[in-house]
């Protein structure tokens, strides 16, 4: 602890009485959150939980599988047995026509097997972060395969997503900034950024109105500092790194900027989210 810190600690030590008095006063003066506000907040939270995605339902399904293996076995029997039950022949389609309608679907499923296995991994990652016993994992994979056979369209969509992991983000509901708006938003601001692609990480960036920027970043790969310049062009925010990343120094990189709910979003080349940015005034002291 340096002298400045010691002095400050000593300064604060002399303020205990004032601190205690303030906390008492704050408790006395505090008012509860109005009930209508509280209700609105909880209703919104409940609605967001109800709007779950496929990952959530898969997660819940496989949790049930692990907890009720007997029931799962019974369901498996049903799922396996039902397709084997002879079905009434579709009299509208002759046998050859039925077979020729099936053939391309079967062929497509066979050629997309590697992608399906990658999709399988994606589903497994989405299902639950907790490690599962080997038997349960095997059961999950078996069910996934059964599910794909039964739901070819879903499987093909999953395979497509697995082949293109940086699928574009849906920017519906976001507002894209034009050049003027980018300049206004980024002039003299501190940018607390959460990186969403690659290995993730975070950064604290300073964007100056005179066109300079600095960045202190950290990720699982390490940490570092960058400097450079930024500007706008064709409704894109561009930057050129001057120091800190030799492989990118001097190269112009441009991208669109979106905003929603007072947060700002940068996009990578694939159109998915690169960073989520919280901007605040840059104090110059």
Backbone angles phi, psi at 246, to 5 degrees: -55, -35
Q: Please tell me whether residue 234 binds another protein under the rule CB under 8 A.
A: no
Stretch touching another protein by CB under 8 A, among 30-38, 65-73, 100-108, 207-215: 30-38
Q: Please tell me whether residue 68 binds another protein under the rule CB under 8 A.
A: no
Pairing of strands 189-195, 201-207: antiparallel
Which H or E run includes 280? Answer: strand 273-281
Cβ at position 70, least distance to another protein in Å: 25
Cβ at position 177, least distance to another protein in Å: 16
Residues within window 114-133 making contact with another protein, judged by CB under 8 A:
129
Residue 219 CA to residue 196 CA, distance in Å, equals: 11
Q: Please tell me whether residue 279 binds another protein under the rule CB under 8 A.
A: yes
Strand partners, 27: none
Q: Please tell me whether residue 199 binds another protein under the rule CB under 8 A.
A: no
Among 58, 59, 177, 257, binds another protein (CB under 8 A): 59
State the chain's maximal CA–CA distance in angstroms: 94
Residue pair 273/280 in contact (Cβ under 8 Å)? The answer is no
Among 13, 28, 210, 234, binds another protein (CB under 8 A): 28
Stretch touching another protein by CB under 8 A, among 101-109, 174-182, 231-239, 273-281: 273-281
What are 58's two structure tokens?
Answer: 């898969």
Per DSSP, 271 falls in state S
Cβ at position 167, least distance to another protein in Å: 16
Q: Please tell me whether residue 181 binds another protein under the rule CB under 8 A.
A: no
Stretch touching another protein by CB under 8 A, among 28-36, 66-74, 113-121, 131-139: 28-36
Q: Which residues contact 55 (CB under 8 A, 6 or more apart)?
A: 126, 127
Q: Please tell me whether residue 46 binds another protein under the rule CB under 8 A.
A: yes
Q: Please tell me whether residue 29 binds another protein under the rule CB under 8 A.
A: yes
Burial class (CB in 10 A: 0-12, 13-18, 19+), 248: middle
Going by C-alpha positions, the residue among 260, 264, 248 that lies closest to residue 190 is 264
Per DSSP, 164 falls in state -
What are the residues binding another protein (CB under 8 A)?
4, 8, 11-12, 15, 18-19, 21-26, 28-31, 33-34, 37-38, 40-42, 44-46, 48-49, 52, 56, 59-60, 129, 190, 192, 194, 196, 200-202, 204, 260-263, 273, 276, 278-283, 285
């Amino acid at each position: 602890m340096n002298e400045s810190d010691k002095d400050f600690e000593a300064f604060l030590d002399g303020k205990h009485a004032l601190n205690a008095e303030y906390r008492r006063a704050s408790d006395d003066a505090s008012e509860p959150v109005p009930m209508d506000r509280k209700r609105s907040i909880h209703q919104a939270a409940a609605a967001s939980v109800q709007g779950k995605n496929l990952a959530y339902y898969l997660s819940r399904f496989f949790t049930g599988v692990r907890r009720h293996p007997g029931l799962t076995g019974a369901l498996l029997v049903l799922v396996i047995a039902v397709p084997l039950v002879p079905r009434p022949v579709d009299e509208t389609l002759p046998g050859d026509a039925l077979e020729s309608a099936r053939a391309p679907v079967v062929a497509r499923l066979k050629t997309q097997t590697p992608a399906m296995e990658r999709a399988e991994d994606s589903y497994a990652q989405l299902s639950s972060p907790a490690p599962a016993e080997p038997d349960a994992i095997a059961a999950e994979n078996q069910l996934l395969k059964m599910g794909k056979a039964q739901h070819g369209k879903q499987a093909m969509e999953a395979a497509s997503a697995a082949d293109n992991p940086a699928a574009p983000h849906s920017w519906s509901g976001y507002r894209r900034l034009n050049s003027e708006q980018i300049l206004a938003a980024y002039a003299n601001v501190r940018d607390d950024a959460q990186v969403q692609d690659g290995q993730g990480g975070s950064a604290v960036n300073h964007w100056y109105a005179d066109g300079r920027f600095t960045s202190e970043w950290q990720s699982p790969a390490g940490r570092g500092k960058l400097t450079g310049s930024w500007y706008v062009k064709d409704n894109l925010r561009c930057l050129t790194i001057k120091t800190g990343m030799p492989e990118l120094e001097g190269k112009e990189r441009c991208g669109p900027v979106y905003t929603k709910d007072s947060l700002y979003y940068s996009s990578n080349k694939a159109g998915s989210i690169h960073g989520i940015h919280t901007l605040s005034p840059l104090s110059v002291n």
